[in-house]
Amino acid sequence: MENTFNTISGKLLDMVPLIGLYAETHFRFRIPFSRYFKREPELIFDTPWRLEPGQKLSIFLVVKDAHLYPVKLGSVEIEILKNNQTLHTQNWTLNQDLSHRQIDFEFSFDPVMLPFGEIDIIPTLNYSISGKQRRMQVDNYHGISKTPLRVTITEENLPKLAGWQTGDTHLHSSLTNDQIEFGASLEQTRKAAQLLGLDFITATDHSYDLDDHPHDYLENDPELAKWNQSRKHIIALNEESDLTIIPGEEISVANAGGSTVHFLHFNDPVYFPGSGDSGEDWPKIKSQLSIDDVLAQRSPGTVSVGAHTAYKFPWFQRVLLKRGFWGAEDHLNPELDGVQILCGTPAYAAFHTSRQLWIDALLKDHKLGVYGGSDGHGNLNRNWHVRLPMLSLGIHEDQIFAQSRTLVRSDGTATAEIVAAMKARRTALSTGPIGDLKISFDGSDYGIGDTLEARKGDILKLSCEGLCTEEFGLSLDVTLYAGNLESQKESLLLYESEISKKFEITQNFTVKGKSYLRMEISSDGSRWPGIYVSSPVWVDTPEV
């Protein structure tokens, strides 16, 4: 593109009313005033918020839009501190001229003993623009406090039980790249997942980004080169690593009320369009497909999950882009596989609303697996965001990569195994503690996601287990719920509090009718509350 900003402005001049929605450092809608606009590429240091035992500390540098503002990277210095005391400093000489659209660098430390617990990292970059020497710490965003990156050096692995795999099922890579936002490369995201201790990740880039021309996000590509290249890229990455990347898409679709909501759609070889809330052709904001359309047209063996179901977009996005949320009716399509009820931390009302909508659907006999995910766009250590469009930027620690995770009951991590387990509703979510629920009946064992048949009056033997680590809180509260589908009420079957670190609990349950059983665990947490929620084990009572 000869002059990207003029092209954007010329094509989207009629989008000026959206300026309150999608302010970005290099996108000004031909408006000359922006307090955080800089004639520099975006330069961001990032690193995962925790480091799994046995992993070597790595820091990433992301360089975005150097094709518009060429930059020369001089040198990097990274200082590690604990309690304001310097533990280690290391330097790298780069001396590289860059004019890439997006590129990232990894700086791995020489073997160094790091103390357990939280450390601070202060990365510094010396660089030059048009020969003028500049220096920045952490990022080059204007108006943001340059607080150190925080990393927890762990003594124990991410909590895990045998037969379960852990991943982030909602994230965006650099394939999400438009006038609004961008993410980290799949290579960087995969490496971060390994450092954190994950078994798999998904690539759920926006449907309205995946149909763009690979080198011009303002031009749609009917040949879908970007989509096709991305699928080949994921296959190649999976062949060279034990960590699996599940191909996916976040599709913008219409809900029952006509508003646009988002769908996490996994492992479909067919692309689904969805640009209603993209702003690409504003004021046209009608979604091409509905929830029901996608579920009716999808390929066999794929998995479809409602994304961040009750998380409401800001009011101006709801008005100008008709963005909505998943209502009660939207949960009731029998083809729906699950819902993402946790997006980031559970410290917000949206999580509790999403959880209740899910429970209401379960009580109406709709089998929905439960999911967690970050919706992260890179954001390995913190979330960089616009606080006031054109005026100020901010940072916070919500919706960062792998903060909220999906657990999948699967012995293996191959794409086919993970997708099959998702399809069978063998899922749970966690921000720390983990658990498992098993039922023994009539000589057979059943687990999360399974359905067993029993008669009224039969007695089931329940076995609950769980654990946590000091990192996420050693005092656990455990709750077991029974849902009665005939009365459409959920009751408390078991509650035990202040359990230390690890537990195994057995409990009998007398079948009163068609029902389900599910478990929740909470812990003290660390930076955010610790929570675990399982999908149910369902109990059918066949008619005599």
pLDDT in tens, 131-176: 999 999 999 988 888 999 999 999 999 999 999 999 999 999 998 8
| Cα 229 to the center of its chain, rounded Å | 22
Residue 518 pLDDT > 80: yes
| DSSP letter, residue 139 | B
Grade residue 386 by pLDDT with cuts at 50, 70 and 90: confident
Specify the higher pLDDT residue, 213 or 309: 309
Radius of gyration, CA atoms only, the chain: 24
User: Nearest Cα to 12, choosing from 148, 256, 134, 179?
Assistant: 179
Looking at residue 6, its pLDDT comes to: 29
Q: Which of 171-175, 207-211, 532-536 has the highest mean pLDDT?
A: 532-536
Looking at residue 196, its pLDDT comes to: 97
Share the mean pLDDT of the chain. Answer: 90
User: Nearest Cα to 167, choosing from 199, 125, 119?
Assistant: 199
Grade residue 28 by pLDDT with cuts at 50, 70 and 90: low
CA distances from 242 to 51, 186, 187, 366, 374 (A): 18, 14, 13, 34, 22
Looking at residue 286, its pLDDT comes to: 87
* pLDDT, tens only, 213-271: 888 777 888 999 999 999 999 999 999 999 999 999 999 999 999 999 999 999 999 99
Grade residue 316 by pLDDT with cuts at 50, 70 and 90: low
Residue 23 pLDDT > 60: no
CATH T-level topology, domain 432-540 = Coagulation Factor XIII; Chain A, domain 1 (2.70.50)
Does domain 165-424 correspond to CATH entry 3.20.20.140?
Answer: yes
Cis before 115? omega within 30? no
* pLDDT, tens only, 396-431: 888 999 999 999 999 999 999 999 999 999 999 999
CA distances from 69 to 36, 38, 66, 386 (A): 15, 10, 5, 21
Looking at residue 2, its pLDDT comes to: 28
In sequence order, which residues have a C-beta less than 8 Å from that of residue 223 and are 6 or more positions away? none
Looking at residue 137, its pLDDT comes to: 97
CATH class of the domain whose range is 35-156: mainly beta
Specify the higher pLDDT residue, 286 or 153: 153
Grade residue 5 by pLDDT with cuts at 50, 70 and 90: very low
Percent of the chain with pLDDT over 90: 77
Residue 25 pLDDT > 70: no
Looking at residue 30, its pLDDT comes to: 60
- Domains of the chain: which residue ranges? 35-156, 165-424, 432-540
User: Is 80 in contact with 46 (CB distance < 8 Å)?
Assistant: no
Looking at residue 16, its pLDDT comes to: 29
